């Protein structure tokens, strides 16, 4: 069972309790009618013929991916299609919002935005932060409270215990453990970044340009930037363990973050605190707002101002961000760039949504329920054939590329590969998944902080889907998994094709498609057996042993050199013990991730496989379903 | 995959195409190049403009322990300095092969910047700009791809070997780095999977076309055509003879050995093959320079990889008459503190540090600028990042002031207002 499964089970208990309580409020929120009327008026005014309503199967796939990052399960699709109740979509939204995958999905989304996919920092306890986010989303913590907790967080970044003999653990270690501080730790060596991220993520206001120059057309000046950044100038971390830099333990530095009465010794410890220098003598001040009081925490004052009901941006920023994420573009675009020179589309609608969100105590699930209940969200995905510059006012649903996490999960669940990877990695599916995603992101050479989406233009990505081990391996016939299960249970070819469709594109095939597939299956073909590309990691028995260079390594052997020889899981287990410091640790993690992103998938790609014309033809259909635009996008 | 998408025919440009047809890829890439062919290659390179190889020293290499040695001082560390083929210029004793090639090197010892954090420094030294959340600046490789690359070239114009690079920013995905993680493997996922032969691959694409046609009819979405187009492009790459440029194993053993037995060396060899085939910008990463602890042992190992690779690259390009048209840039995100910490390490140091330029019309055989006796402050001819980028742009035949309009409407120039440094240009 994977860690995610364990978490899922734990969350499932609370989910079941909620569902049984029958307290689900299945009514459509009232603000939806207002929003719908305003958007319909915009369509009429601009001569837009909106797309027809999306059918049930397509709507279900869309909402499931948007709210949980997962594909709907085939059995559930069938049930949902058969459900005759008028309010079934409203019920479905509630079901999805209450599901464990909801917390997982939104936790990942915010983790990527707040810390970044490729960020690896000894100051950050990534696991603790992810867990914290998941729990916040699971209990549906109000957005203002979550933002306040992030901005004002104090305490220890990690609750990891040191091995005996290294250093003492403070007495208040457990009470003062606060994973939310990891966000500050992400930027602790550059507080201007902290200020810029706060403003951008929570207010949708971009002030960072003013770090270097007064903005030519917009209002923020360098002075504004400095004063805003000064809100963080008396907050800084210290090492829990001393002497910090010499600790011969890999992993996370235990740090304590605190608001203090003084600024950090930025001259003495320039590497750590150099970024504070330009801000320590500024008066801390909000954007367009009051100065922070001279006494008390500057960050508390900042959080009060950010989350105040009369803050001009706070509610709108998150409404716009989520509307943009679900409907393809926000009222303001880019979603985090609110400024006078970039006015929103349909400002009254944005206001209505923001007011409703604030009136509902910043309830994120309520906001998502509203967005998913609108008429705009229910449009079919059809290109309205207008020029790129012309607004369509959400007259049709956009075609949205899946995020890398969504893509990986979709391929795995559509083919039962998640279970196989979990067995292959002896229960470390999470690690394999992270490794694969990290490799994918770095192979695409993309920016780590941004949401990495399918980029139509990347060749490495399409080669990965066309020939890569994940897709080609997942589509192979193995008994009792994926295609094996489908073929053994289906009464005939049509039933099998229907199952493959439900697993991947979450709908039944049309008559036209079935006709084409019958012809495809009827074509005569040779059974293909080729060796394929050689595996880069050892297979068979040699995969179990320790490579000689590592087994016979001398006492003082250079770690970097040894790492070059690591090819098997046993090699990495042996090498882990030789890690002497954090630099070694970082290299180890990198090498190990590369291994974990490779070895299990090479195994998949070499195992099983169809032996008859029919079996191979079905593998090809599966492969095509995993490669088609309909599968790779949300629409 | 479908007939609706107009695919441009693969085109290498008139001159390059002729070379490949007449000379053949294998011939061109072997060590024994017939003279007429070598000359033709030079003529091609001249006509097609310049290329660039960036040797990226990830983590921030110590200037004092590489190209700005201060032996015998409190900050100098244990390494000796050795004389080079450039009169009066000394470099670290662990770079003996490079010392022989120093007549080609312009060592800049007076770099100065303000970003002492890895992320920010890496962004700055790839793009020439400090990070600013709104705007993603294009990295140098993307500028080169955009300005000098042939859009119809079968290979990507910007290849990054052994590590992620910085993206193309607002210049668009087609100028993103094409990443080769492992030079021993070359391009990932090019060969057909196990049990898939050519005819089965065609069957798979037929199956895919059934789905794509259906979805196109349903949505009329441009994304379907784009998806098909990039798949076509990928299949063309699978079938292109030019991908051989990624196979360093095709090189004679002696050539492979010259670059040293390291992934970085193999990356440099791949870089040379790619440039020869027409790729405009190749970045090769050597990671591990973040030497907070045990600086001298680690730097020794790193130079052990660096020295043969960098030196062989220069020699190889020179022998192929490609050095004048190929600029080699050696740099990391910053230098390291002159002060040696109790952990025998050096920390991040952007105030004064060193980079190296070679080939591509650089005035070689010199050390430009200097630091004080401790290597702590720039003593003469400070070189700012904008000036440095302007110099590189000029060397590559690009106008440093050339601007593209970013999505926020602000024009962004290749260099952020810098001026090329005349003394570095030959």
The whole-angstrom distance between B89's CA and the closest CA on chain A is: 31
In chain A, what's the furthest Cα-to-Cα distance?
A: 83
Residues 204-243 of B with CB under 8 A from A: 204, 206-208, 210-212, 214-215, 218-224, 226-227, 229-231, 233-235, 237-238
Of B52, B162, B12, B38, the closest CA to residue B414 belongs to B52
**Closest-CA residue in chain A for B167?**
A446
Mutate to test the interface with A, among B160, B164, B174, B193 (most CBs of A within 10 A): B193
The pLDDT of residue A433: 93
In chain B, what's the furthest Cα-to-Cα distance?
A: 75
Cβ-nearest to A468 among B164, B185, B189 = B189
The pLDDT of residue A251: 61
Mutate to test the interface with A, among B157, B196, B291, B300 (most CBs of A within 10 A): B196
The pLDDT of residue B38: 45
What one-character-per-residue DSSP string does B132-151 give?
Answer: BTTB-PPPHHHHHHHHH--T
The answer to whether A257 and A155 have CB atoms below 8 angstroms apart is yes
Q: Which residues on chain B are in Cβ contact (under 8 Å) with A510?
A: 214
Asked if B171 has any chain A CB less than 8 Å from its own CB, the reply is no
Average pLDDT over residues A273-283: 91
Q: Which residues on chain B are in Cβ contact (under 8 Å) with A627?
A: 208
The pLDDT of residue B222: 79
Pairing of strands B348-349, B335-336: antiparallel
The pLDDT of residue A385: 75
Q: Which residues on chain B are in Cβ contact (under 8 Å) with A604?
A: none
Contacts (Cβ under 8 Å, ≥6 apart) of A210: A220, A221, A222, A224, A225
**Closest-CA residue in chain B for A215?**
B410
The whole-angstrom distance between A611's CA and the closest CA on chain B is: 10
Rounded to the nearest integer, the mean pLDDT of chain A is 87
Omega within 30 of 0 (cis) for the link into A243: yes
Asked if B37 has any chain A CB less than 8 Å from its own CB, the reply is no
The whole-angstrom distance between B56's CA and the closest CA on chain A is: 15
Going by pLDDT thresholds of 50, 70 and 90, the confidence category of residue A458 is confident
The whole-angstrom distance between B11's CA and the closest CA on chain A is: 18
A530·B290 Cβ contact <8 A = no
Going by pLDDT thresholds of 50, 70 and 90, the confidence category of residue A63 is very high
Lowest mean pLDDT among A7-16, A127-136, B40-49, B168-177: A7-16
The pLDDT of residue B167: 80
pLDDT reading at A369 higher than 70: yes
Burial of B402 (0-12, 13-18, 19+ CB in 10 A): middle
Of B355, B344, B356, B349, the closest CA to residue B375 belongs to B349
**Closest-CA residue in chain A for B220?**
A383
Lookup: tokens for A31: 């603000």
Lookup: tokens for A584: 């070694």
Q: Name which residue leads in pLDDT, B87 or A25.
A: B87
The whole-angstrom distance between B128's CA and the closest CA on chain A is: 14
The pLDDT of residue B24: 32
Contacts (Cβ under 8 Å, ≥6 apart) of B179: A442, A443, A444, A445, A460, B159, B160, B161, B163, B164, B165
pLDDT reading at A118 higher than 70: yes
Lookup: tokens for A567: 């090819």
Q: Name which residue leads in pLDDT, A599 or A218.
A: A599
B221·A399 Cβ contact <8 A = yes
The answer to whether A328 and A400 have CB atoms below 8 angstroms apart is yes
Burial of B21 (0-12, 13-18, 19+ CB in 10 A): exposed
**Closest-CA residue in chain A for B295?**
A583
Q: What is the ipTM of this complex?
A: 0.88
Average pLDDT over residues A219-237: 92
Average pLDDT over residues A53-72: 97
The pLDDT of residue A218: 67
Average pLDDT over residues A419-442: 85
Average pLDDT over residues A76-94: 96
The pLDDT of residue B152: 84
Give the DSSP H or E segment for A329: none
Out of A165-174, A352-361, B111-120, give the one with best mean pLDDT.
A352-361
Average pLDDT over residues A185-203: 93
Alpha helix stretches (DSSP H) within A274-377 = 298-307, 314-327, 347-359, 364-373
Of B319, B306, B305, B307, the closest CA to residue B276 belongs to B319
Distance CA B106, CA B365 (A): 6
Distance CA A532, CA A273 (A): 53
Question: What pTM did the predictor assign?
Answer: 0.80
Q: Name which residue leads in pLDDT, A19 or B120.
A: B120
What one-character-per-residue DSSP string does B279-325 give?
Answer: --EEEEEEE----SSSHHHHHHHHHHHHHHHHHHHHHHHHHTT-GGG
The 10 Å CB-count burial string (b at 16+, else e) for A432-441 is bbbbbbbbbb
Q: Which residues on chain B are in Cβ contact (under 8 Å) with A211?
A: 130, 132
The pLDDT of residue B133: 61
Strand order in the sheet with B353-359: B178-180, B158-161, B281-287, B51-58, B326-332, B353-359, B105-111, B366-368
Cα–Cα distances (Å) from A518 to A513, A514, B208, B425, in that order, read: 9, 6, 15, 68
Distance CA A486, CA A497 (A): 9
User: What digits encode the pLDDT tens for the residues A254-268?
Assistant: 889 999 999 999 888
**Closest-CA residue in chain B for A443?**
B179
The pLDDT of residue A414: 97
Asked if B190 has any chain A CB less than 8 Å from its own CB, the reply is yes
Distance CA B24, CA A428 (A): 49
Tokens 């360093």 sit on residue: B248
The pLDDT of residue B48: 60
Of B158, B164, B154, B122, the closest CA to residue B143 belongs to B158
pLDDT in tens, chain B (426 residues): 333 333 333 332 333 322 333 333 333 333 334 444 444 544 454 446 899 999 999 999 999 999 999 999 999 999 999 999 999 999 999 999 999 999 999 999 999 998 888 888 999 999 999 987 667 899 999 999 999 999 888 898 999 998 778 888 888 777 888 888 889 888 889 999 999 999 999 999 999 999 999 999 999 887 888 888 888 888 988 999 999 999 999 999 999 999 999 999 999 999 999 999 999 999 999 999 988 888 999 999 999 999 999 999 999 999 999 999 999 999 999 999 999 988 788 988 999 999 999 999 999 999 999 999 999 999 999 999 999 999 999 999 999 999 999 877 789 999 999 999 999 998
The pLDDT of residue A167: 65
pLDDT over 90, % of chain A: 60
The answer to whether A464 and A38 have CB atoms below 8 angstroms apart is no
Asked if B7 has any chain A CB less than 8 Å from its own CB, the reply is no
Tokens 């629409």 sit on residue: A635
What number of helices (H) and strands (E) belong to chain A? 31, 5
Asked if B74 has any chain A CB less than 8 Å from its own CB, the reply is no
Of A473, A412, A491, the closest CA to residue A603 belongs to A473
What one-character-per-residue DSSP string does A523-548 give?
Answer: S--PPP----SPPSS--GGGGTSPPH
Residues 111-140 of B with CB under 8 A from A: 116-117, 120, 130-136
Helix, strand, or coil (residue B55): strand
The whole-angstrom distance between A342's CA and the closest CA on chain B is: 10
The pLDDT of residue A346: 96
Beta bridge partner(s), residue B56: B285, B331
The pLDDT of residue A283: 93
The whole-angstrom distance between A584's CA and the closest CA on chain B is: 9
pLDDT reading at A487 higher than 90: yes
Distance CA B109, CA B369 (A): 5
* Residue A19, CB-side half-sphere exposure with 13 Å CA sphere: 16
The pLDDT of residue A17: 42
Lookup: tokens for A7: 């978490």
Average pLDDT over residues A271-276: 84
Asked if B176 has any chain A CB less than 8 Å from its own CB, the reply is yes
Going by pLDDT thresholds of 50, 70 and 90, the confidence category of residue A457 is low
Lowest mean pLDDT among A319-323, A547-551, B63-67, B171-175: B171-175
**Closest-CA residue in chain A for B407?**
A334
Going by pLDDT thresholds of 50, 70 and 90, the confidence category of residue A215 is low
Helix, strand, or coil (residue A266): coil
Cα dihedral A576, A577, A580, A582, rounded to 10, equals 30
**Closest-CA residue in chain B for A381?**
B219
The pLDDT of residue B13: 31
Q: Which residues on chain B are in Cβ contact (under 8 Å) with A616?
A: 195, 200
């Amino acid at each position: 069972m994977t860690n995610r499964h364990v978490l899922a089970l734990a969350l499932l208990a609370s989910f079941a309790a909620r569902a049984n309580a029958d307290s689900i409020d299945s009514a459509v929120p009232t603000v939806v009618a207002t929003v719908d009327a305003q958007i319909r008026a915009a369509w009429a005014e601009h001569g837009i013929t909106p797309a027809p309503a999306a059918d049930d199967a397509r709507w279900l796939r869309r909402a499931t991916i948007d709210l949980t990052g997962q594909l709907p399960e085939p059995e559930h699709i069938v049930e949902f299609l058969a459900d005759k109740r008028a309010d079934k979509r409203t019920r479905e939204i509630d079901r999805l919002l209450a599901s464990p995958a909801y917390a997982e999905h939104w936790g990942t989304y915010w983790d990527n935005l707040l810390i970044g996919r490729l960020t690896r920092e000894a100051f950050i306890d990534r696991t603790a932060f992810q867990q914290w986010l998941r729990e916040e989303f699971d209990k549906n913590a109000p957005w203002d409270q979550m933002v306040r907790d992030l901005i004002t967080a104090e305490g220890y970044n990690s609750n990891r215990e040191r091995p005996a003999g290294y250093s003492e653990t403070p007495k208040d270690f457990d009470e003062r453990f606060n994973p939310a501080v990891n966000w500050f730790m992400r930027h602790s060596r550059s507080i201007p970044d902290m200020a810029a991220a706060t403003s951008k993520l929570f207010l949708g206001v971009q002030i960072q340009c003013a770090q270097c120059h007064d903005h030519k057309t917009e209002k923020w000046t360098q002075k504004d930037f400095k004063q805003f950044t000064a809100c963080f100038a008396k907050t800084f971390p210290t090492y829990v363990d001393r002497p910090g830099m010499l600790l011969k333990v890999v992993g996370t530095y235990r740090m304590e973050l605190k608001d203090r009465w003084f600024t950090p010794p930025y001259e003495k410890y320039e590497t750590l605190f150099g970024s504070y220098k330009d801000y320590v003598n500024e008066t801390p001040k909000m954007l367009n707002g009051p100065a922070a009081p001279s006494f008390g925490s500057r960050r508390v004052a900042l959080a009060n101002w950010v989350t105040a009901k009369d803050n001009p941006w706070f509610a709108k920023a998150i409404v716009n961000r989520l509307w943009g994420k679900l409907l393809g573009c926000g009222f303001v675009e880019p979603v985090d760039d609110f400024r006078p020179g970039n006015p929103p589309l349909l400002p009254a609608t944005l206001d209505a949504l923001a007011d409703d969100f604030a009136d509902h105590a910043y309830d994120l699930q309520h906001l998502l329920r509203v967005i998913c209940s609108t008429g705009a969200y229910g449009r079919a995905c059809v290109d309205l054939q207008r020029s790129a510059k012309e607004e369509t006012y959400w007259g049709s649903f956009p075609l949205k590329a899946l995020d890398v996490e969504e893509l990986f999960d979709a391929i795995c669940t559509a083919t039962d590969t998640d279970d196989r990877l979990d067995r292959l990695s002896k229960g470390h599916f999470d690690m394999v998944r992270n490794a694969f995603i990290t490799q994918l992101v770095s192979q695409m050479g993309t920016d780590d902080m941004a949401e990495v989406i399918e980029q139509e233009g990347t060749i490495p990505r399409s080669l990965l889907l066309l020939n890569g081990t994940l897709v080609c391996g997942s589509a192979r016939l193995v008994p009792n998994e994926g295609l094996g299960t489908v073929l053994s249970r289906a009464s005939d070819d049509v039933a099998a094709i229907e199952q493959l469709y439900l697993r991947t594109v979450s709908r039944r095939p049309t008559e036209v498609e079935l006709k084409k597939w019958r012809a495809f299956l009827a074509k005569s073909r040779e059974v293909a057996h080729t060796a394929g590309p050689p595996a880069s990691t050892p297979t068979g028995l040699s995969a179990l042993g320790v490579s000689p260079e590592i087994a016979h390594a001398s006492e003082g052997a250079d770690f970097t050199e040894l790492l070059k020889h690591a090819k098997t899981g046993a090699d990495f287990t042996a090498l882990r013990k030789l890690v002497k410091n954090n630099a070694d640790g970082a290299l180890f993690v990198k090498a190990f991730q590369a291994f974990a992103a490779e070895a299990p998938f090479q195994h998949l790609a070499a195992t099983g496989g169809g032996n008859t014309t029919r079996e191979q033809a079905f593998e090809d259909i599966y492969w095509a379903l995993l490669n088609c635009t309909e599968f790779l996008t949300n629409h | 995959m479908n007939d609706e998408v107009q695919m441009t025919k693969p085109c290498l440009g008139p001159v390059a195409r002729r070379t490949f047809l007449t000379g053949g890829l294998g011939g061109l890439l072997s060590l024994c190049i017939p003279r007429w062919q070598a000359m033709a290659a030079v003529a091609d390179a001249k006509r097609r403009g310049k290329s660039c190889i960036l040797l990226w020293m990830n983590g921030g290499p110590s200037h004092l322990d590489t190209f700005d040695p201060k032996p015998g001082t409190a900050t100098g560390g244990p390494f000796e300095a050795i004389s080079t083929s450039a009169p009066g210029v000394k470099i670290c004793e662990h770079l003996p092969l490079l010392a022989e090639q120093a007549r080609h090197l312009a060592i800049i010892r007076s770099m100065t910047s303000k970003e002492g954090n890895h992320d920010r420094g890496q962004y700055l030294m790839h793009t020439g700009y400090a990070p600013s959340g709104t705007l993603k600046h294009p990295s140098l490789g993307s500028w080169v791809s955009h300005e000098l690359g042939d859009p119809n070239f079968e290979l990507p114009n910007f290849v990054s070997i052994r590590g992620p690079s910085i993206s193309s920013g607002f210049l668009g995905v087609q100028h993103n780095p094409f990443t080769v993680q492992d030079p021993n493997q070359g391009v990932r996922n090019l060969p057909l999977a196990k049990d898939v032969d050519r005819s089965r691959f065609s069957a798979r694409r037929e199956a895919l076309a059934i789905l794509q046609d259906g979805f196109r009819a349903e949505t009329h979405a441009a994304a379907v055509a784009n998806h098909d187009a990039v798949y076509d492009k990928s299949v063309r790459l699978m079938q292109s003879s030019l991908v051989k440029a990624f196979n360093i194993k095709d090189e004679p053993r002696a050539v492979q050995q010259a670059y040293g037995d390291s992934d970085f060396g193999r990356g440099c060899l791949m870089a040379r093959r790619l440039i020869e085939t027409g790729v405009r910008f190749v970045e090769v990463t050597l990671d591990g320079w973040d030497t907070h602890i045990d600086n001298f042992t680690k730097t020794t190992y790193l130079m052990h990889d660096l020295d043969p690779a960098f030196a062989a690259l220069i020699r190889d390009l020179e022998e192929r008459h490609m050095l004048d048209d190929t600029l080699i840039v050696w740099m990391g995100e910053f230098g390291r503190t002159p002060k040696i910490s109790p952990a025998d390490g050096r920390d991040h140091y952007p105030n004064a540090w060193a980079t190296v330029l070679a080939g591509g019309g650089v005035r070689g055989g010199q050390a430009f600028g200097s630091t004080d006796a401790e290597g702590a402050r720039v003593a003469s001819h400070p070189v700012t990042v904008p000036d440095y980028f302007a110099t590189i742009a000029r060397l590559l035949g690009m106008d440093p002031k050339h601007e593209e309009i970013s999505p926020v409407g602000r024009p962004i120039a290749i260099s952020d207002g810098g001026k090329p440094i005349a003394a570095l240009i030959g």
